[in-house]
Chains A and B, each alone.
Chain A
């Protein structure tokens, strides 16, 4: 179907965009030809448009056809011949669409220009030694960061588009020959089945990728650094890169992955083992210490060493609250301060710390409202939480549960809680990988990279916790 006037077509497309304010069009006429340019000025490089498209076309003496535009005038650019039905898609993607009067087809030139940031060290995964690059919101940058680390023809990138309004590009990446194709297909199938209006961040996909959808424990790995994702792909996992998100998802995922840190691989393995043990102890402390303190204080004070018992008795004497209310009060105070400090501008952060630590904490103790051991126990549990920041939300919920268990049922409640939640976690399988592997069930091979990490030169096999095709990583 041909059309008579460029202006008519421009108006038609403008209407399709609901006369959006960033919709732009130009009409260029010379003696023989009339052209129309349509684009979204918010996502296209206007300067490049003027220099490499508008100017050469305006100055040319040649007859303007799609062929001459593609092969001669606009050659240095990424030029495509498109159908009428593809016009809107190309404009959304940041292309300039050229309408040639009398032609049935159109020309699209990719001039996408988003505001992007350069790869920098992500705030949650800093390293002392090792690569500092982090993913950005631009998926092209993220793909190039991955390609740089895994320069192999076997690094597969499969692109999907999810979200009826957002049209978000989602890339499934894995290493062919290592990753289990069945899992790749399963992930692809799950992503293809998503029919949602928009995917704003990669976290939107977590709920769709989890095998136990309503579990409070996350079953999808999240990484902000390409070196981490590359190492996971080498273990046979699958990465999911989402446009507009600096977080790359990985599956399968086991809980122990969060106890590992990229620093562990860039430092002496003896020290890594020590730090991992500290992390494990810290996270267990973070979960149960407040509940345990309550259980000991309320029900089992006779098992405490005498000096410790006297200290607690001295400091808690005359408090207006019961120990349970006191711990709950301090806990929520810390949580409120944490939430406030996240949202306040940085210049007010210091003031919040002063108010929190000095006024609320110190004055609270002096006023006889809360006890120093209570403040210390809750503070330790809140600080220890950030030994494994990826688990902070789950651990915070567990802290509340264990406070209730310890405060109401004593040690029996705390132990019962541990057994219950371990059973619960053991029920979770992430794409065939036991959630508490390599310890429950014990997978001897994977203990090499467990709490006690071995030298990389001694780790010959890929983890058995994850299904992968090629077992040998070091020959």
Chain B
């Protein structure tokens, strides 16, 4: 039988890709609106929660090295609650796709295509995302592995140019506590990406010390996001809320950019790669959850259902990307409370080591 597993290194790279994209375009300016430069600490705080999810993943993997999440949930919570969790995760990933797509679309429409191109964007995105899901986790993780260093180099170039151009430091500690936590709550849905790892827990090979690889790459992703936030707030200071795309704008403020032509093409291409990868990861999350809810339907069905729901919800419910941002701030945090906190907490208790003397199950 053909192996479908991926290495811890590949899983780590997927982690990096899952935290980029929608956090480095529009989010920095949105968070600045609520928490000023202390938005950086908001992000840091939310990432710490994400790291708790990652730690839970390691614990669960140690306890159930080869078991699926479906099996673990059913064992502890029973069939009904297991299905319920998968349904919640299905919607979580669907809205994640919608949010990422809306943010990317807004960026491309405003800064790249400078025109309405809704149909073109759908034509570009849907086949690639569908194919990534159908091709399977193994081929997708290999693709991420192939482009990982090129994408990282793109982000590093943006960071390096921004660092050279940086004239000062952001003004910290000028936000009230309610504003700080209020902003954190509003944007909580943008985080919690590592929950994807639980869905593929049986497919990640974790040999001795390989967990470090996963942690290393997850750390790289968090480092990139925090660096971009920091440089973005440093460069634009109090006008940060007016700039809609952090990765591009930290480049375009540079003197170097104008002397060698438009350097923001690097950011543009990086964003496009990141968007495809992040959308594929979330779509894959949807598909995994779907296949676990409807055992008898294969991945092809999940993709078809995803396409229909995605297009219908996007056209009818979202319509404009501003609407999606509104939902993200007003409604989706409640869903995120369940997916980012409640479910990981439940899994944490499931992952707690057994009492001494308890028998370990054989892995299959």
Contact = CB atoms under 8 A, between A and B. Distances in A.
Interface of A: 299-300, 302-306, 308, 408-413, 415-416, 419-420, 422-424, 426-427, 429, 434, 436, 439-442
Nearest to A419: B276
A420 B142 contact: no
6 contacts: A409-B124, A415-B272, A419-B128, A419-B273, A420-B128, A424-B139
B364 interface: no
B58 interface: no
Interface of B: 2, 7, 9-10, 108, 112-113, 120-121, 123-125, 127-128, 131-132, 135-136, 138-140, 142-143, 145-147, 260-262, 264-265, 268-269, 272-273, 276-277, 280
Contacts of B264: 303
B75 to A, nearest CB: 32
B131 A424 contact: yes
The 5 closest A-B pairs by CB, nearest first: A305-B261, A426-B139, A440-B146, A426-B142, A415-B272
Contact of A442 (B132, B145, B147, B277): B145
A441 B139 CA distance: 9
A278 B276 CA distance: 28
B127 A420 contact: yes
B262 A305 contact: yes
Nearest to A439: B146
A224 B329 CA distance: 64
Given A410-B113, A412-B272, A424 B261 contact: no
A416 B125 contact: yes
Nearest to A434: B142
Contacts of B269: 411, 415
Given A300-B268, A411-B269, A439-B146, A306 B261 contact: yes
B124 A299 contact: no
A441 B143 CA distance: 8
Contacts of B272: 411-412, 415-416
B142 A303 contact: no
A408 B112 contact: no
Nearest to A409: B124
Nearest to A437: B142
A299 B142 contact: no
Contacts of B132: 419, 423
Contacts of A441: 7, 10, 142, 145
B262 A303 contact: yes
Given A411-B268, A419-B277, A441-B7, A424 B135 contact: yes
Contacts of A413: 124
Given A420-B127, A420-B128, A440 B265 contact: no
A288 B28 CA distance: 33
Nearest to B112: A300
B268 A423 contact: no
B95 to A, nearest CB: 22
Given A420-B131, A439-B145, 19 more contacts: A300-B268, A303-B264, A304-B262, A305-B260, A410-B120, A411-B268, A412-B112, A412-B121, A415-B272, A416-B128, A419-B143, A423-B128, A423-B132, A423-B135, A426-B139, A426-B140, A426-B143, A427-B139, A434-B142
A419 B144 CA distance: 9
Contacts of B265: 300, 303
A255 to B, nearest CB: 12
Given A300-B265, A411-B272, A426 B135 contact: yes
B149 to A, nearest CB: 10
Given A303-B268, A409-B120, A412-B272, A422 B143 contact: yes
Nearest to A410: B113
A440 B145 contact: yes
B262 A302 contact: yes
Contacts of A415: 269, 272-273, 276
Contacts of A427: 135-136, 139
A422 to B, nearest CB: 5
Contacts of B127: 416, 420
B136 A422 contact: no
A303 B131 CA distance: 30
Nearest to B146: A440
A408 B108 CA distance: 15
B124 A423 contact: no
B2 A429 contact: yes
Contacts of A423: 128, 131-132, 135, 139-140, 143
